[in-house]
Structure 1
Amino acid sequence: MTKTTLTDLGLYLGKRSINKAEVCNKTGISKTRMSRLTTQTNAFLRASELYLIALAIEVDPAVLQKELYGNLKLLK
């Protein structure tokens, strides 16, 4: 059995008890794509997907973006 690692998006949705199937229905993002976005660290979230997910879960897209990518820093 393999252990599933959640991405930051997966952790965020899990922490807020968001139903991923409902998000898929509201956004048009396939269940396969949503699964990849929430479990595979090499799957990159497109800006359009982030925006649609934010609308579906009723969160400001900027807040979701900061939550997922707020740890990034510029190089010195």
Structure 2
Amino acid sequence: MKRSANRADISRKTGISTTRLSRLVTEPNSNLRADELYLIALAINVDPCEVQKELFNNLKLEEL
């Protein structure tokens, strides 16, 4: 799932600074918070659950 979005528009809609949005895009260890993920998904008209599935599809439970 790839979408192009204007950072200034997302910032205005979410209250997340454009600096923070840029950091989330360029720095892999920037620790995206759940509330930020939710707000960004809403701002770009995507289901937040679908975003989580896409981002975290590599996570699996350990077998016992």
Specify every segment of 5 or more residues in structure 2 that has no aligned partner in the other structure, as ranges.
Answer: none
Compute the displacement of 1:74 (Å): 2.2
Compute the displacement of 1:75 (Å): 2.8
- Equivalent in the alignment of 1:68: 55
- Tell me the TM-score normalised to structure 1 length: 0.74
Deviations 1:7-39 (A, max 9, x none): xxxxx6xx3111122111100000111111111
The number of residue pairs the alignment matches comes to 63
* Cα distance in 2 for residues equivalent to 1:31 and 1:24: 6
Q: Which has the higher contact order (CA 8 A, sep 6+)?
A: 1
Tell me whether 1:48 sits opposite 2:19 in the alignment: no
Q: Aligned Cα RMSD in Å?
A: 1.3
Specify every segment of 5 or more residues in structure 1 that has no aligned partner in the other structure, as ranges.
Answer: 1-11
Runs of 4+ in structure 1 deviating by more than 3 angstroms, as ranges, are none
Identity %: 63
